[in-house]
Amino acid sequence: MEKIILIITVCMIIMAAPIISKMIKTPVVVIEITLGLLCGYLGLIYSDETLKLVAKFGFVYLMFLAGLEINFKLVKIIKATLAVNVILYFILLYTISGLVCWLFGLGLTYFVALPIFSLGMIMMLLKEYGKEQPWLNLALSIGVVGEIISILALTLFSGWTEYGFTSNFFYSILTIALVIVAIILLLRVSYVLFWWFPEIRNFIIPENQDDKHDQDIRFSLSLLLIFVSIMLILKIDVVLGAFTTGLFFKMFFNQKHELLEKIESFGYGFFAPIFFIYTGSTVKLDMVTLDILHHAIFIMCAIITIRLISSYLVFYNYLKFKQTMLFALSDSMPLTFMVAIAMLSYNYGLISQNEYFSFIIASMLDGLFLMVLIRKLYKTFDIKTTKL
């Protein structure tokens, strides 16, 4: 009976979250985490191995979707004159993050989490403000690079959490490097193969009217699980495998709009919400104290501050005051990856339970506060639509 109630509760949240999101104009991810937190407090969602397994797959699927969001053509939007600025921007992000960690005595988890990127919230901003905004276009372009760096950082961080600074860790780095080389070669070979023999692409995934057996979904999900399994065999974090699969489909099946819509619908509509609901349920509301809330606000402020400083130092001459602020704030919502890093760190004992709670609460507050703030500032600044 308890499992039935658990299933019904999770499904009700999945159905209700987007409706509530529209009603109160709040990111749906924040709603999912919040409802998961409340239902966990009420005992409607509890620790269950099946739910945990599905939530893990939800995270894997989320990384798969992250690969689908990558579009290397957007990198070309960054003009040649900005290439040095972009490199400097990332150097400043990690330098200031390191300085913050040193000043406040924070661990490696914070150094990885504070400058991390996630395209999810930026994509939501794009839906609202369009691609013709210079600040948002630049945020998306840099977000592409930032998410790739974040994927690598998350993969390396996962290796460190498991092995520490031992020979096994450096062996895992070598393995990751070789896997990345193999992935690049695979993508290159696939590009040449599909270029010379385009019929192979249609053979693997037929046109929609000819696909009577849902071959597109069979192939995509099977390939995802194969790549994830290979990463498990090589003892590499599954993030890299899931991300690579998404990147593969984005590069070679981008014209299959129906397939991409199906994949995204499965992910954003079901699997990813379960991950966020489960994550919210792991925060014990009755254990949340003022210290936890203060620390959550500190994390949120640190994330925003390091981006504001880096952005104004690097992009002020290009975007000027108003658009630089909007750019910095739009890149300050690494909700999905911050949740992932927090859960990973907590599972390996790198952060305390209170710190874990703070990270989850910070991710919620950050997404909610900045989405509202950006909307207010955008109206106040009266930004005109121009091309980058």
d(CA 258, CA 267): 14
* In the block, residue with structure tokens 């509202």: 372
Strands in 222-333 per DSSP E: none
pLDDT tens for the chain, 388 residues: list them: 678 888 899 999 999 998 998 888 777 877 888 899 899 888 888 878 888 888 888 888 877 887 776 665 555 555 555 778 888 999 999 999 999 999 999 988 898 889 987 766 776 676 667 666 778 777 777 776 776 777 677 677 777 776 676 777 777 778 878 888 888 888 888 888 878 877 777 777 766 666 666 777 788 888 889 988 988 888 777 777 888 888 788 777 776 677 777 787 888 888 888 988 888 888 777 888 899 999 999 999 999 999 999 999 998 888 888 889 999 998 898 877 788 788 878 887 888 989 998 998 898 788 778 888 888 888 888 765 544 4
d(CA 147, CA 120): 10
The reported pLDDT for the residue numbered 259 is 73
Nearest one of 370, 344, 224, 232 to 279, comparing CA atoms: 344
The reported pLDDT for the residue numbered 298 is 96
* DSSP at 384: P
The pTM score is 0.74
The reported pLDDT for the residue numbered 66 is 73
d(CA 294, CA 357): 11
301-305 long-range contacts (CB < 8 A, ≥24 apart) are: 302/97, 302/100, 302/110, 302/114, 303/114, 303/332, 303/334, 303/338, 303/362, 303/366, 304/328, 304/329, 304/332, 304/366, 304/370
The reported pLDDT for the residue numbered 306 is 95
The reported pLDDT for the residue numbered 388 is 46
In what helix (H) or strand (E) does residue 296 lie, and over which residues does it extend?
helix 290-330
Nearest one of 31, 106, 126, 67 to 264, comparing CA atoms: 67
- Asked if residues 240 and 231 have their Cβ atoms less than 8 Å apart, the reply is yes
In this structure, the dihedral spanned by the alpha carbons of residues 12, 10, 261 and 339, taken in order and rounded to 10 degrees, is 130
The reported pLDDT for the residue numbered 387 is 47
Domains and CATH numbers, the chain: 52-270+287-387 (1.20.1530.20)
